[in-house]
């Protein structure tokens, strides 16, 4: 495994990103900073604040992937607005948001002022932007503001929400300074982010790992293996996630003693003092004071998905070493809709764009409640919530719609989760009433759909893709390579087999040898065989056999009380298969 081959795969997967896109992002940041500076100047004149000797009243700093220089075609623009003390948080999330809406390049603005980290989300040209805000207790901003922001003393008497926003900037600089080789770190992080996004495990709001968590894990791997190349670092990171004792947190650096900030001490991650911190499953601590868990949204079911994807990636890396696969097989996009037979569709609609943005952001933040309910019900053996938003093919009138999908694998053939879906739908409609622009046109619909219905629900380019490049784990052989009817009687070929269930039909209900035909539907085949043979069924992601035992008949057959020969053929019901 060479670094050159990994870089080639990154560029091949990230074909939509080009140097011009990077310059466009920088230009977008400059224009937003100009809007921010003009707004502060107008606010300064209205309040007749103290006269300033410097023309700079406010500053805007890039954060996240832009500051780390690991951008790709799907990266958001994260930035931090810093203002002096005469600018309040209420004014920023109200008046400044209105100024953003007036810009011709801004298509949508959503204010989330009560979030854990308050943010303004907007779409500037083709870029998604997240704008944070910090109000400093200073009348004027110093010339070397960036150096001042990196000191702990600047956080004296700052509200906790401002501290969280400020740490988005401080964390990026501290992470870069903590790794031994920044080039290897950046290459590894770019590959890790592409892999996590393609596998649907890159989303903090959905309970997976967000950008800051993947960055800290990559930096920790670089610290543990300072001379390793990016391909080896990728493999070491996967092993770190799987084998780490998660009773201990991931920490990049030792905390330096500094002037105590009494009002922030309670927010420091400490499972001894805080009972809520003891419940965290994957503590990945930020390097800045106060240390906090960047992966606090991880839940048992999302942790299962993350660990499974890591194990699958390690299997592909072993094939890359032996020459059986390439890096594109690992980093390339996988069609989510080919991995499941059943899905939960969550469709959110509203009358106007602003109403839809507010309602869809609320629904997106509440998805973990539905997943928690599905996990607690015990009716699903596996499920994976796709973080991506999809656009429905059929829109109702002029309504704005988005939908999400959760791939599910039920424990039993006959799925019944209607009560969980109805409860989530009612709870969300009730929670939406707190929105300022709530009305009866905001609708949420939850239902179960199958794989064959997906292409008819989504617009072109969003549904299942035929001939999609799949990883070896999900490779489906062509029809000519599929096994014959008699071979499939002893083994049902599936991509991810689970527990094998064996049923032997050697005798009939009264103990006499019997030869009869047993119809078995498996995939696209309709097999008829001698019932005297042992038939092996594998319960996989596509459940071809819907076992539905009838207790009364089974009991009578087992006790030898049934007098109808061949009655055992009706013990199981199989789904009807259309004629080929």
Positions at the binding site: 76-78, 130, 193, 202
Give the integer Cα–Cα distance in Å for 374 and 435.
Answer: 26
Cβ neighbours of residue 414 under 8 Å, at least 6 residues apart? 546, 548
DSSP letters spanning 370-412? HHHHHHHHT-EEEEEE----B-BSS--TT-EEEEEEEEEEESS
- Helix H or strand E segment including 173: helix 160-178
Tokens 């059929």 belong to which residue? 394
Tokens 């119809």 belong to which residue? 519
CB 364 within 8 A of CB 205: yes
> Annotated binding site for ATP: which residue ranges?
76-78, 130, 193, 202
Distances, alpha carbon 444 to alpha carbons 249, 360, 401, in Å: 38, 9, 10
How many C-beta atoms lie closer than 10 Å to residue 396's C-beta?
A: 9
What sign does the dihedral 152-78-4-192 (CA atoms) show?
positive
- Helix H or strand E segment including 32: helix 19-47
What sign does the dihedral 154-157-159-163 (CA atoms) show?
positive
Give the integer Cα–Cα distance in Å for 100 and 91.
Answer: 13
Tokens 């094939």 belong to which residue? 319
Comparing C-alpha atoms, which of 198, 545, 204 is closest to residue 339? 198
Give the integer Cα–Cα distance in Å for 508 and 348.
Answer: 54
Q: How crowded is the C-beta side of 275, counted as CA atoms within 13 Å?
A: 0
Cβ neighbours of residue 349 under 8 Å, at least 6 residues apart? 356, 396, 399, 400, 401, 402, 441, 442, 443, 444, 445
User: In the sheet that 443-450 helps form, which strands lie side by side, from edge to edge?
Assistant: 380-385, 400-410, 342-350, 443-450
> Annotated binding site for Mg(2+): which residue ranges?
76, 78, 130
Comparing C-alpha atoms, which of 145, 169, 167 is closest to residue 158? 167
Cβ neighbours of residue 546 under 8 Å, at least 6 residues apart? 413, 414, 573, 574, 575
Give the integer Cα–Cα distance in Å for 572 and 414.
Answer: 13
How many C-beta atoms lie closer than 10 Å to residue 502's C-beta?
A: 9
């Amino acid at each position: 495994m060479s670094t050159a081959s990994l870089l080639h795969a990154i560029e091949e997967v990230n074909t939509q990103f080009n140097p011009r896109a990077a310059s466009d992002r920088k230009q977008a940041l400059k224009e937003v900073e100009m809007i921010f500076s003009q707004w502060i100047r107008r606010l300064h004149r209205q309040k007749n604040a103290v006269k300033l000797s410097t023309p700079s009243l406010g500053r805007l700093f890039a954060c996240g992937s832009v500051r780390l220089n690991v951008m790709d075609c799907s990266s958001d623009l994260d930035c931090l607005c810093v203002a002096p003390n005469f600018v309040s948080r209420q004014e920023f999330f109200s008046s400044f948001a209105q100024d953003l809406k007036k810009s011709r390049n801004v298509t949508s603005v959503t204010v989330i002022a009560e979030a854990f980290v308050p943010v303004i989300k907007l779409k500037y040209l083709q870029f998604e932007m997240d704008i944070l805000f910090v109000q400093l207790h200073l009348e004027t901003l110093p010339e070397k503001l960036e150096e001042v922001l990196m000191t702990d003393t600047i956080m004296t008497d700052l509200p906790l929400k401002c501290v969280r926003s400020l740490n988005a900037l401080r964390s990026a600089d501290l992470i870069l300074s903590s790794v031994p080789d920044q080039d290897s770190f950046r290459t590894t992080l770019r590959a890790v982010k592409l892999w996590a996004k393609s596998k649907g495990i890159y989303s903090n709001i959905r309970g997976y790992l967000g950008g800051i968590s993947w960055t800290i894990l990559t930096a920790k791997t670089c610290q543990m293996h300072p001379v390793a190349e990016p391909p080896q670092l990728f493999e070491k990171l996967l092993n770190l996630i799987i084998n780490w004792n998660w009773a201990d947190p991931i920490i990049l650096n030792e905390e330096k003693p500094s002037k105590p900030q009494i009002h922030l001490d309670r927010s420091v991650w400490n499972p001894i003092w805080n009972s809520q911190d003891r419940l965290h499953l994957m503590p990945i601590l930020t390097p800045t004071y106060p240390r906090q868990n960047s992966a606090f949204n991880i839940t048992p079911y999302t942790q299962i998905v993350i660990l499974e994807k890591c194990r699958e990636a390690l299997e592909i890396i072993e094939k890359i070493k032996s020459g059986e696969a390439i890096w594109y097989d690992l980093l390339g996009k996988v069609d989510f809709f080919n991995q499941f037979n059943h899905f939960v569709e969550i469709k959110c609609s509203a009358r106007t764009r602003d109403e839809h943005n507010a309602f869809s952001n609320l629904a997106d933040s509440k998805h973990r409640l539905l997943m928690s309910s599905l996990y607690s019900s015990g009716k699903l053996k596996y499920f994976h919530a796709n973080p991506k938003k999809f656009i429905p093919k059929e829109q109702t009138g002029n309504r704005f719609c988005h939908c999400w999908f959760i791939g599910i694998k039920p424990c039993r053939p006959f799925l019944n989760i209607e009560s969980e879906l109805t409860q989530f739908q009612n709870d969300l409609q009730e929670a939406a009433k707190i929105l300022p622009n709530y009305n009866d046109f905001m609708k949420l619909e939850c239902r179960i759909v199958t794989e064959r219905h997906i292409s008819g629900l989504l617009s072109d380019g969003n549904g299942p893709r035929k001939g999609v490049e799949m990883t070896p784990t999900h490779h489906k052989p062509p029809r000519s390579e599929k096994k014959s009817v008699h071979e499939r009687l002893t083994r049902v070929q599936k991509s991810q087999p689970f527990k094998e269930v064996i049923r032997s039909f050697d005798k009939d209900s009264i103990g006499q040898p019997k030869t009869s035909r047993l119809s078995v539907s498996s995939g696209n085949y309709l097999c008829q065989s001698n019932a005297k043979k042992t038939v092996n069924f594998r319960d996989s992601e596509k459940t071809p056999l819907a076992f539905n035992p009838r207790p009364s008949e089974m009991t009578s057959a087992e006790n030898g009380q049934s007098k109808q020969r061949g009655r055992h053929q009706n013990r199981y019901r199989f789904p009807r298969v259309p004629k080929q």
